[in-house]
Amino acid sequence: MMLLSRADARRFLLAYHFAPKTVAEVFARLGSVQVDPLNPLGRNHDLVMQVRVSEYRRGDWEGAAYRDRLVYDAWDKQACLVPVSDWPHRRLYHGHYRPYWAERVLTPHADAVADTLAELRAKGPLSSLEFENKGRVEAWAGSWYGPKLVKQTLRALWDTGQIVTHHRAGGRHVYDLPENVLPAEVVNAPVVARDDALKHLILRRHQSVGLLRLNADGALWSLPATSAERKVLIQDLVTEGALVPVQIEGSAQRYHLLAGAQTYLGQDVRPEVRFLAPLDSLMWDRKMVAELFGFDYIWEVYKPQPLRRWGYYVLPVLYGDLFVGRVDSRLTGGTWRILNWWWEEGVAVTPDLVAALGEAVTRFRRYLGAERVELPVGLDRRVQAAFQDTVVNP
């Protein structure tokens, strides 16, 4: 059992998460980057990259995914970009979702399924807009994927591993057959035993977060296994030396980290201000963030306006190993509109913090490609100075 103070754990997480400096290195370090279609400041996966990769611009991730094929779109902790080499292990998800889709689409609409696959073979890659099938199932109106038969069919085929995302066009999936996108040795790899596949996915989750609680919420794990099964396999991984148990001083929680990640213990990271994505993997286990950083964060994007405390798309603001604030903002045309800013209670707003905030604002504005910044009336004068003093080279 490794014993760490909260400060040790925070420094470890910073060193682990922010050591990578290129898009490829970030994908390799995290193993899974959550994808989200909302685009108020670039999409979530863009925000994950910009806080780690110098001079990153919105959309730069696509080359690694759809040209270099380092990662592909898959189900993990929700929709994510994961390593191409994971395909054999993620067949576990394909089998898990098959009974649901067999009952809903694959069996009752078998002719449409066959036609969709035939059209992909003949004409692919294709988006849902390009298929000949324009049929509707009105009973599906109001469902997540809507009443269009081809959209439901494509999702059924994607979830069950019969098609994959070739690329995205304006955020929309463009589909193709796995053998046309993934390496033959990956597509044709032998079937992986269930427990081995689950162990692989459990290690991936620890890789993504860095330091993970044994009792993290089920939604974070998002595995086709029970909590009891998962805990048995985690103990197996500890016995095998792949995971290291960690006790945080003053915590009743059991944590684990990857054995190879121990090299980041004790490392210091330059104290700079970082604007984090709402679904950054550092934020996946929000109870961990609350325990280690003293920062309570809820993503309120799906809350009705009257129930929001902070705002629609609020980014956590990290300085050194502490969360110091939150910012709600949008990119509208070429204007970065700051809607609100909140300092965390008890934060000492020092000249060094204000200077670091100014540097972060400059970086983020470059990432957005914003030509100007619009500030609200009554904004804290120190925050106002940090935004107004930024200089962005064309």
Q: What is the distance between the alpha carbons of residues 187 and 84, in angstroms, rounded to a whole number?
A: 10
> What pLDDT is attached to residue 168?
95
The topology under which CATH files domain 273-388 is Aminopeptidase (3.40.630)
Give the pLDDT confidence of 94-104 residue by residue, as tens digits. Answer: 999 999 999 99
Amino acid at 133: N
Q: What is the distance between the alpha carbons of residues 265 and 9, in angstroms, rounded to a whole number?
A: 8
Structure confidence at residue 68 as a pLDDT band (50, 70, 90) = very high
* Average pLDDT for 71-82: 96
* Average pLDDT for 226-237: 97
Q: What is the distance between the alpha carbons of residues 190 and 97, in angstroms, rounded to a whole number?
A: 20
Q: Which of 306, 312, 318, 299 is nearest to 340 (CA)?
A: 312
pTM, full prediction = 0.94
How wide is the angle at C-alpha 323 spanned by C-alphas 335 and 8, nearest 5°?
A: 140
Q: What is the distance between the alpha carbons of residues 267 and 11, in angstroms, rounded to a whole number?
A: 7
Q: Which residue bears the tokens 């983020």? A: 364
Give the pLDDT confidence of 150-205 residue by residue, as tens digits. Answer: 999 999 999 999 999 999 998 899 999 999 999 999 999 999 999 999 999 999 99
Residue 167 makes CB contacts below 8 A (sequence gap 6+) with 62, 65, 66, 125, 174
Burial track 271-306 (b if 16+ CB lie within 10 A, e otherwise) = eebbbbbbbbbbbbbbebbebbbebebebbeeeeee
| DSSP 8-state class, residue 234 | H
Six token digits for residue 264: 């980041």
Predicted confidence (pLDDT) at residue 394 exceeds the cutoff of 60: no
> What pLDDT is attached to residue 144?
84
Contact 26, 343 (CB under 8 A): no
Q: What is the distance between the alpha carbons of residues 108 and 223, in angstroms, rounded to a whole number?
A: 27
Contact 347, 316 (CB under 8 A): no
Residue 127 makes CB contacts below 8 A (sequence gap 6+) with 169, 172, 173, 174, 175
Contact 76, 222 (CB under 8 A): yes
Percent residues over pLDDT 70 in the chain:
99
> What pLDDT is attached to residue 371?
92
Distances (CA, A) of 109 to 101, 114, 149: 10, 9, 9
Q: In this structure, are strands 243-248 and 2-4 parallel, antiparallel, or unpaired?
A: parallel
- Phi and psi torsions of 341, nearest 5°: -140, 140
Give the pLDDT confidence of 114-162 residue by residue, as tens digits. Answer: 999 999 999 989 999 999 999 999 989 888 889 999 999 999 999 999 9
Does domain 91-182 fall into CATH 1.10.10?
yes
For the chain, what are the domain ranges?
2-84+190-264, 91-182, 273-388
Q: Determine the 3-state secondary structure of 255 from DSSP.
A: strand
Predicted confidence (pLDDT) at residue 287 exceeds the cutoff of 60: yes
> What pLDDT is attached to residue 390?
73
Give the pLDDT confidence of 308-317 residue by residue, as tens digits. Answer: 999 999 999 9
Six token digits for residue 284: 């996946």
DSSP codes of every residue in 30-42: HS-EE-----SSS
Contact 70, 83 (CB under 8 A): yes
